[in-house]
Structure 1
Amino acid sequence: MKRISVDIGGTFTDCFFVWDDIYVDAKALTTHHNLALGFNDALDLACKRAGLDRSTVLSEVDSVRYATTLGTNALIERNGPKVAAIVTHGFEDTIPLSRGRGYGEGLDYSMQQNLPAAERPEPLVARSLIRSVKERINSAGKIVARIDPDDVRSVVRELVDAGAEAIVVSLTNATENPEHELAIQEIILDEFPPHELGAIPVLLGHQVSGRKGEYVRATSTIVDGYLHSIMFHALSQLSNNLRDFGYDRPMLVIHNSGGMAQMNSTDALQTIHSGPIAGVGAAEHLSNETGIGNLISTDMGGTSFDIGLVPEGGVKHYDFLPTIDRWLVSVPMVHLDTLGAGGGSIASYDRIHNSVKIGPQSAGSNPGPACYDRGGLNPTVTDADLVLGYFDPDNYANGYIKLNPRRAKFAIEENLCDYLDMDVVEVARVIKDGVDEQMAIGIGKELRVRGYLPEDFTMLAYGGNGPLHACGIARHAGIKRVLAPPFSSVFSACGAGNMRQLHFHERGVHVTLYNATTRALYSDYADLNAVITELEDQGREDLVRQGFDGDEVQFRLELDMRYGNQLLTQAVALPDLSRVSGVGDVLEIIKTFGDVYSHRFGAASAAPEAGIRCNTVRVAAFVDGDVVNFDTLENGGERTVPDPIGHRRAYFIGHDKPIDTPLYNEEALSADRVIPGPAIVTTETTTFLVEPSWRLEPTEQGAVWFLQD
């Protein structure tokens, strides 16, 4: 196996490089103006460590996989094109109204309870760029009012004249019959042929989301259209860079569904959060291979802190109506909770509470934290860590970045010390303890809202800053065991290397599996099986288009189910069922739904007497591939304490005075060692901070346990 996997974050570009039995990780600063430059820097460093040159590697490697937060950043910065929307006549205000309470999506819980004071998000489609066409298809897919081509041409010309750079078409009930959406696309392409310079992207709602619901399908398509050009140009830039150095295979893009595909089978919407979700995928793979049990995955990078949940058995949680930025969308996405808390998160003075506020704003990679000495003036978490003595200024990121302690102290003093009436070390402690607590609260909320206790989970700490803050986060969260996994600083990139080709296709349905009024079970098997067959054909077509044999494709059936008229739906995976052929299969589906629902909400909460319905049929089509193998995490032999390579004064939470802290390098991380806290271990890619009352126990392949004494 020869593979390059890349995770392009807001601050660093992480590279995980596999060359047969050689595993190499490397990092470089993200170059936002041209992502290929940061990739080249990271790959050059990885090749240097492996003793190879870039051209040789790219000409022989079997795949290059990219995960990126570019789409997320584009939404935050609102630097996308002018998007126009065409909807059914009478539905012009569906998008701006956003379901009444829709503008509460994406806000924290406290703001959702006070919506009158909440700010509506800046719309991705201006009301002046929404037009309607006279057409109507009913809920059964029957055409009630046919489309008028002249009406469509007039509307399209108006939108183009108004400056539209992309057109979204989302018509009522198009999932039942897409004829009118396809007709509008044909008219637009006739007016503005793709081979001529005036052509603009056209996105159809039924192709982006096959689920019912006009508003959510429209927002999904709008977000996709808003990011389409940005992602196309950025990923094309990366693809062209690969070809310039001899890579002649299709570039693969990680999806937020937990799979990946070539660019020609990727929607821009599917790239949102793909980097952190690759880390959750790696956590799932680690759980399956090692039997470690319940995992809470935490990725602390330079910009954000991402939390994922992998219960015992390695089953990921999915969101089927996730919120992206401030918009509810209908794409299957691995569940992820993201906090604006990373090494580059800016610490500012909160005048109301006379305290320090951390994030969500980040210094990013340019200019970066003040200590990077690149013009940053705001204090960050990294500046506080440097002031507290956790970093070697001359050996940060393997010497790639030289840190300036005076800049860090100056930034904290100028922005915080005078307001808080504290010295610079006290403020740095407040920043460090505050960000640890903030991340621990996020972990506790994520676990408890799903019925789990933090003490029943092992915390997986990765990302460039994960092992540095692991003990502090665990202390606040009440977690006793923390694991920094193999290749922890580039663990999400490692996860991208383990992804398989996967596509989800889904369709909204009206299926009553148990009718509470007539007390009858569902019996129209042919109709349901026809939907399943159609979705399997779409998934197979996707993968065959990417070069796979149709016989290699595997499928997994999933249903979104609910009791009666409940609003809450529960996704139910049915890996052992591909078709419904009798009463036994219907009863098995009902039993599986009851077990999943009862496990999540309690046995007494199930209500089959209200009836059991299925709203969505979903099929995952995938092809398995080679993966990186993780070694055992256990070590039964005796351990010895290594000799430190030096000492440095460092400050710890709960200790007023500095402690002369032993320092270690990567050689101390062998499986027969134990490092008692306090201690600092500096490697080429990350820093392990062992706080007092904790100890560090390395394992094979570079995994490291943090255990409380």
Structure 2
Amino acid sequence: MRRVSVDIGGTFTDCFVAWDEHCIESKALTTHQNLALGFNEALSNACKTLELSERELLSQVDSVRYATTLGTNALIERKGPRLGLLTTAGYKSSVPLSRAKGYGVGLPHQQQMDVPNAQRPDPIVPIPMIMEVRERIDYAGDVVMQLDEDDLRDKIRQLVDKGAEAIVVVLANSVVNPVHELRIREVFLDEYPGHMLGAIPMLLSHQVAGRKGEYVRAMSTIMDGFLHQAMYHGLGTLELNLRHAGYTKPMLCNHNSGGMAQLNSTDALQTVHSGPVSGIAASEHLALQAELGNIVATDMGGTSFDIGIVVDGGVKHYDFNPVIERWMVSVPMVHLVTLGAGGGSICRYDRMFQTVQVGPESAGSDPGPACYDRGGMKPTVTDADLVLGYLDPANYAGGHIKLNPRRSRQAIDDHLGEELDLDTIACAKLIRATVDANMANGIARELRTRGYEPENFTTLAYGGNGPLHACGIARALGVRRILAPPFASVFSAVGAGNMSQLHIHEMSAWTPLFDANQRRFFDDYPRFNGIVEELERRGREDLVRQGFEPAQIRYQLELDMRYGNQRVETAVVTELNRIRQPQDVLMLIEQFHQRYGERFGSGSQTPEAGVRINTIRVRAYVENPGISFKDIKPSAIRLAPPPPRGERICHFVGHDGPLTTAIYDNAALMPGTAIDGPAIVVTRATTYLVEPGWRFQAAGQNAVWFTMIEAGDKA
């Protein structure tokens, strides 16, 4: 296997190169003005290890895969084109009203409760840029009112005259019958042909989101249109950079659905959060191969802390109406929770509670933490870690970044010391305790709201700062062991390389499997099978277009089901791909009955209210060989640690005075090596901090287990 996978984060660009039996980790600061620069630096560092030139490497790899936060950054900075919206007459206020919940969506619970101070986010499409067109299709797809094309041409001209740089079309019930949306595009291209200089792109909602729900479908299409320009230029620049360096194959982009595709088969909206989702995909792969059971994946990078859950058997949690930034959309996305708790998270004095608040704002890569000596003036988590002695100023990020401890102390003293009336070390300890508690609380809340207990899960700590905070997170969470997986500092990039090429297509299809009023079971098998065949066809075309043979493609059917008119839907994955007889209908009902009971408790099922399918979803994918994870469980044999290469004075939360801390290098990663804390293991890729009362135990593939030391148990 020869493969390059990249995760472009808010602070660092992580690169993972699989070159035959070699696996190389590399990092560089993210260059937001031109993502290719940061990628080139990270790739260059990896090439030096392999003693190859970039051109030699790129000309011989089978693929280059990107996961990026480019779309997330564009939303935060509101960098996008001026959009116009065409919608059905009478639906003009759907987007501005945002289901009457727009003031709270995407905010922490405390801010959602602060209704008097509630404010909606600035609209992506201003109200004057929303135009109504006269047409109507009912819920069954029948045309009630024909499209008024004269009115349509007038509305299109008004939007163009108002400066629309892209137009999105969202018509009522177009997912059932898209005839009017398709006709609007024909009229638009007749008025403004695509070959004209400055041509305006048009996006149709039924092609972006296949489910009913006018608001979420509208926001999906709007955000896709808003991100299109930034993603096109950003990812296009990356692809041109690869071409210039000798890479001739199509560039692959990771999707937030847990799959990937070529750039020409990728919508902008599909790339949002693709970096953290890649880490969850790698966690799923690891859990299945190493038989770890339930896992909670935590990624602490430079900007954020991301949490994902994979339960035993490799089942991921999906959001089918996820919230992106401040808006609810209608695209399937692997569920994750993001906290503002990364190494670059800015620390400030909280006057109300008279303590330290960490995040959610981040110093990013430019200017970065104060210790980067690039102009950052505010204290961050990385500054606190440096002051406490955990980081080597001369050997941070493999020696590529030199840290300035004096800047860290000055930033902490200027912004926190006087307010808290504490010295620098005490302030840094408070920062450390606060951020670890925030991350632990986020994990516990995410697990317990879904009916799980943290002690029943193996916690993975990865990302550039995961191994540095693993013990603190575990201590605050109340668990006795935590795993830093193989290639922990670039684990999301590893996941980007392990993903399969995948496309998800879905369609709203009101299908009563059991009609409680008429007391009859579903028997219109051709209708159901026809929808499944159409969704399979779309997925097949996506993958054939990318060079795969139809025989390589696999399909998985998933149904959103509910009892009667309940609002809650439950996703059911089934091995059936067609309904051919009554037994198949009964099997689907039984699978839903079982899945519902697992989610809400046995006995909560109400089949007497009727059972119906609301959405049919098909996953079309091609299996992809990935990095193999094995021998990562802790060994029963403990090896004595190698001689330390030095020692350092460090300060730890819960300990009043300084402690002399042994420093180890890569030799400590020999499988079976056990080191009792306090200790620090510094490798080329990351720093492992072993707090007092904890044990570091190396396993295969450079995986590391942190275990709380029991009374009387010594290495």
Q: How does 1:405-444 map to 2 (within 5 A)?
A: 405-444=405-444
* 1:104 and 1:118 in contact (8 A); partners too: yes
Local SS of the residue matching 1:688: strand
The C-alpha deviation readout for 1:177-219, integer Å capped at 9, x for no partner, is 1111111112222222222212011110000001011111001
Residues 221-277 of structure 1 show CA distances to partners (whole Å, capped at 9, x for unaligned) of 001111000000000000000000111111000000000001111110000000000
SS in 1 for 2:59: helix
Aligned to 1:479, what secondary structure does the other structure show? coil
Are 1:294 and 2:312 counterparts? no
**Offset of residue 641 of structure 1:** 2.6
Contact 2:642 2:667 in 1 (8 A): no
Q: CA deviation at 1:101?
A: 1.9
Partner of 1:563: 563
Within 5 Å, give how 1:133-282 maps onto structure 2: 133-282=133-282
* Partner amino acid, structure 2, of 1:241: N
Q: Determine the structure 2 residue equivalent to 1:546.
A: 546
Does the 8 Å contact 2:558/2:616 carry over to 1? yes
Q: Secondary structure at the match of 1:557?
A: strand
8 Å contact from structure 1 (residues 642, 674) kept in 2: no
Task: Write the mapping of 1:276-355 to structure 2, written as runs, cut at 5 A.
Answer: 276-355=276-355
How far residue 149 of structure 1 moved from its aligned partner, in angstroms, is: 2.2
Deviation of residue 102 (structure 1)? Answer: 3.2
Is the Cα–Cα contact under 8 Å of residues 319 and 334 in structure 1 kept in the other structure?
Answer: yes
Structure 1 residues 170 and 345 mapped into 2: Cα distance closer, same or farther (>3 Å)?
A: same
Deviates more, 1:581-590 or 1:366-375: 581-590
Corresponding residue of 2:71: 71
Contact 1:294 1:456 in 2 (8 A): yes
Looking at structure 1, the residues matched to 145 and 553 of structure 2 have their Cα atoms a distance apart, in angstroms, of: 40
Confirm or deny: 8 A CA contact 2:103 2:112 kept in the other structure: no
In 2, Cα distance between equivalents of 1:458 and 1:267: 34
Measure, in 1, the Cα distance between the counterparts of 2:554 and 2:568: 29
1:83 and 1:124 in contact (8 A); partners too:
yes
Q: Deviations over 1:114-173 (max 9, x none)?
A: 334322111110001000111111111111111122222211111111111111100001
**Offset of residue 588 of structure 1:** 1.3
The 3-state SS of whatever aligns with 1:103 is coil
Matched residue, 2:601: 602
Q: What amino acid sits opposite 1:422 in the alignment?
A: L
One-letter code of the match for 1:373? D
Alignment correspondent of 1:578: 577
Identity of aligned residues (%): 58
Aligned to 1:660: 660
Q: Which residues in structure 2 correspond to 1:480-495 (within 5 Å)?
A: 480-495=480-495
- Comparing 666-675 with 533-542, greater Cα deviation is found at 666-675
Superposed displacement of residue 353, structure 1? 1.4
Q: For residues 489-508 of structure 1, what are the alpha-carbon distances to aligned partners after superposition, in whole Å with 9 as ceiling and x for unaligned?
A: 00000001001110000000
1:467 aligns with 2:467: yes
Secondary structure, aligned partner of 1:644: coil
DSSP 3-state at the match of 1:341 = coil
- 1:7, 1:66 within 8 Å by CA — same for their partners in 2? yes
Return the TM-score normalized by structure 1. Answer: 0.99
Q: Give the equivalent residue in structure 1 for 2:586.
A: 587
**1:586 is aligned with what amino acid?**
V
Q: Would the aligned equivalents of 2:341 and 2:358 in 1 still touch at CA under 8 Å?
A: yes
Query: In structure 2, how many angstroms separate the alpha carbons of the residues matched to 1:173 and 1:116?
Result: 35
Q: Residue type of the partner of 2:650?
A: A
In 2: Cα distance, 1:518 partner to 1:149 partner: 42
The residue aligned with 1:630 is 629
User: 1:90 maps to what in 2?
Assistant: 90
Query: 1:288: Cα distance to partner?
Result: 1.0
Amino acid at match of 1:607: T
Residue-by-residue CA offset, 1:22-51 (whole Å, 9 max, x unaligned):
111100000000000000000000111112
* In 1: Cα distance, 2:411 partner to 2:461 partner: 28
Q: Indicate the SS of the match to 1:615.
A: strand
CA distance in 2, matches of 1:642, 1:246: 43
Deviations 1:424-458 (A, max 9, x none): 11110110100000000100011001110001111
User: For residue 213 of structure 1, what is the amino acid of its counterpart?
Assistant: G
2:102–2:121 contact (8 Å) kept in structure 1: no
> Normalising to structure 2: TM-score of the pair?
0.98
Equivalence map 1:662-701=2 (5 Å): 662-701=662-701
After TM superposition, the structure 1 = structure 2 runs for residues 357-436 of structure 1, keeping only pairs within 5 Å, are: 357-436=357-436
State how far apart, in whole Å, the 1-side matches of 2:251 and 2:367 are: 30
Between 465-474 and 626-635, report the one with greater CA deviation.
626-635
For residue 457 of structure 2, what is the aligned residue in structure 1?
A: 457
> SS at 1:474's partner residue?
helix
1:605 match: secondary structure? coil
Which position in structure 2 is the counterpart of 1:104?
104
CA distance in 1 between partners of 2:284 and 2:337 (Å):
16
Equivalent pairs counted in the alignment come to 708
Alpha carbons 1:278, 1:493 under 8 Å: kept: yes
Query: 1:192·1:198 contact (CA, 8 Å) conserved in 2?
Result: no
Structure 1's unaligned 5+ residue stretches are none
What is the one-letter code of the residue matched to 2:94?
T
Q: CA deviation at 1:579?
A: 0.5
Secondary structure, aligned partner of 1:121: coil
Q: Which runs of 5 or more residues in structure 2 are unaligned?
A: 710-715
Structure 1 CA distance, aligned partners of 2:20 and 2:279?
22
Q: Distance in 1 between matches of 2:44 and 2:381?
A: 29
Q: What is the SS of the residue equivalent to 2:382?
A: helix
How big is the alpha-carbon RMSD for the aligned residues of Structure 1 and Structure 2? 1.0
Task: Indicate the SS of the match to 1:74.
Answer: helix
Tell me if the contact between 2:170 and 2:218 (Cα under 8 Å) persists in the aligned partners.
yes
Deviations 1:355-394 (A, max 9, x none): 1111010000000000000000000000000000000100
What is the CA distance between 1:176 and its match in structure 2?
1.0
Residue 363 of structure 1 contacts residue 369 of structure 1 at CA under 8 Å; is this kept in 2?
Answer: yes
SS at match of 1:98: helix
Q: How does 1:24-39 map to 2 (within 5 A)?
A: 24-39=24-39
Of residues 77-86 and 408-417 in structure 1, the stretch that sits farther from structure 2 once superposed is: 77-86
User: Contact 2:638–2:674 at 8 Å: present in 1 too?
Assistant: no
Amino acid aligned to 2:609: A
Q: For residues 260 and 604 of structure 1, what CA distance do their matches in structure 2 show?
A: 39
Offset, 1:300: 0.2
Give the 4+ runs in structure 1 shifted more than 4 A.
none
More displaced 10-residue stretch of structure 1: 609-618 or 496-505: 609-618
- Tell me if the contact between 2:557 and 2:618 (Cα under 8 Å) persists in the aligned partners: yes
Shift of 1:592: 1.2
CA distance in 1, matches of 2:534, 2:360: 44
Amino acid at match of 2:677: G
Instruction: Report the equivalent of 2:500.
Output: 500
Query: Per-residue deviation at 1:518?
Result: 2.8
What SS does structure 2 have at the residue aligned with 1:330? coil
Task: Find the aligned partners of 2:284 and 2:584 in 1 and give their Cα distance.
Answer: 29
Is the 8 Å Cα contact of residues 457 and 479 (structure 1) preserved in structure 2? no
Shift of 1:551: 1.3
Once the two structures are TM-superposed, the CA of residue 519 in structure 1 deviates from its matched residue by 2.6
Deviates more, 1:107-116 or 1:435-444: 107-116
> Per-residue CA shift, 1:640-688, capped at 9, x if unaligned?
1322111111010100001001111111111131011111111112110
CA distance in 2, matches of 1:430, 1:638: 34
Q: Secondary structure at the match of 1:629?
A: coil
Aligned-partner SS, 2:27: strand
